[in-house]
Amino acid sequence: MPTMDVVIPTAEPKTDPRSSERATTATPPTKIEVRNFNFYYGDAKVLHDINLDIPDRQVTAFIGPSGCGKTTFLRSINRMNDIIPGARAEGRIAIDGKELYKPDVDVVALRRKVGMVFQKSNPFPKSIFENVAYGLRIGGLNDRRALDEVVERSLVRAALWDEVKDRLSDSAMALSGGQQQRVCIARALAVDPDILLMDEPASALDPIATQKIEELVYELKTNYTIVIVTHNMQQAARVSDRTAFFMLGKLVEYDDTNDIFMTPKQKLTEDYITGRFG
């Protein structure tokens, strides 16, 4: 982690659409609104005053050096950090205007709405079918026809159906790494979420499997709001509409991906994007 005595400029939310030079193109509505969000592990403050609006049905990428807080922030969006002892959130995150960090929020329902895909694919030691149907069964759905329908639809959306349709009862563990990752995506899609959080979903995959995941992300944004954490800057440039750059727990810059990669406004962003850190 870089240690330097610099004042990190913090990106302000663009609440006035006229402030954007591209105000003429229709801005999609905000899906996730974040205001003055802070996060602590015990006494350590790991996220500082984050403000941003994540647009509906677009891909937003979080980039930044290791330890910059991007994964912690991603996990805050479906309250995955709640299970960590001593973890504490402050400020506001709202999905469709509804605040996440209120005592009456049903966390299980929230996680159904906000699915998550991890860096390392983690299929259950069950068949492909049962992996995808898992969330539905937990939710009480046992009707075979309904399950068949959802499993097929989810696998189609995860661009895996054609590869596995003849062997749905085979173990998911026998699939390739890229296929396992798509099973996990299908499993997340099966419970019909609005938002998909992806934490380095392709970092453990070979280039061809990575390309499939990237294509899939691009397809999925028609129906889902996607937030992706990636270490691979070219991947962020290829798949995302908006990019947020984090450093030392602060949001340094958040803008259209084109602007971040061609004309970043902050020197820190420029140095990171061009690999001139350290």
Partner 1 sequence: MRHFDRDIERLKELLLRMGAMVEDAMNESIRALLERDTAVAEKVIAADDSIDHMELEIDQHTIELIAKMQPAAVDLRFVAAAMKITPELERIADLAVDVCERAIELNREPPLKPLVDIPRLAMIAQDMVRQALDAFVRRDTVLARQVIDRDEEVDLLTEQSFRELLTYMLEDSRNISRAIRLTFIGKYFERMADGATNICEMVVYLAEGKVIKHSQ
Does 270 bind partner 1 (CB under 8 A)? Our answer is yes
Q: Taking CB under 8 A as the rule, does residue 264 contact partner 1? A: yes
**DSSP state for residue 29 in the 8-state scheme:** P
Q: Which of 142/263 has CB closer to partner 1?
A: 263
Nearer to partner 1, 45 or 238 (CB): 238
Contact yes or no for 202/214 (Cβ under 8 A): yes
Q: Which is nearer to partner 1, 32 or 59 (CB)?
A: 59
Sign of the torsion angle spanned by Cα atoms 204, 209, 215, 217: negative
Minimum CB distance to partner 1, residue 24 (Å): 16
Q: Say how far apart CA 126 and CA 83 lie, in whole Å.
A: 25
Comparing CB distances to partner 1, the nearer of 163 and 270 is 270
Nearest approach, Cβ of residue 8 and partner 1 (Å):
18
Q: How far apart are CA 241 and CA 57, in angstroms?
A: 10
263 binds partner 1 per the rule CB under 8 A: yes
Distance of CA 25 to the CA centre of its chain: 25
Give SS3 for 140.
coil
CB burial of residue 175 (10 Å; 0-12, 13-18, 19+): buried
Helices (runs of H) and strands (runs of E) counted in the chain: 10, 10
- In the complex with partner 1, which residue's Cβ is closer, 37 or 245? 245
Please identify which residue in 27, 36, 169, 274 interacts with partner 1, judged by CB under 8 A: 274
| Minimum gap (Å) between residue 233 Cβ and partner 1 | 7
Contact map string, positions 202 to 241, toward partner 1, x by CB under 8 A: -------------------------------xx--x----
Residue nearer to partner 1 on the CB measure, 251 or 268:
268
Q: Do the strands 30-41 and 87-95 form a parallel or antiparallel pair, or are they unpaired?
A: antiparallel
Task: For the chain, state the CA radius of gyration.
Answer: 19
CB atoms within 10 A of CB 37: 21
Q: Is 262 in the site for partner 1 (CB under 8 A)?
A: yes
Stretch that binds partner 1, among 82-90, 193-201, 213-221, 269-277 (CB under 8 A): 269-277
Residue from 73, 68, 63 nearest 275 by CA: 63
Q: Does residue 276 bind partner 1 (CB under 8 A)? A: yes
Give the nearer residue to partner 1 in terms of CB position, either 36 or 274. Answer: 274
List contacts with partner 1 (CB under 8 A).
Answer: 233-234, 237, 261-264, 269-270, 273-276
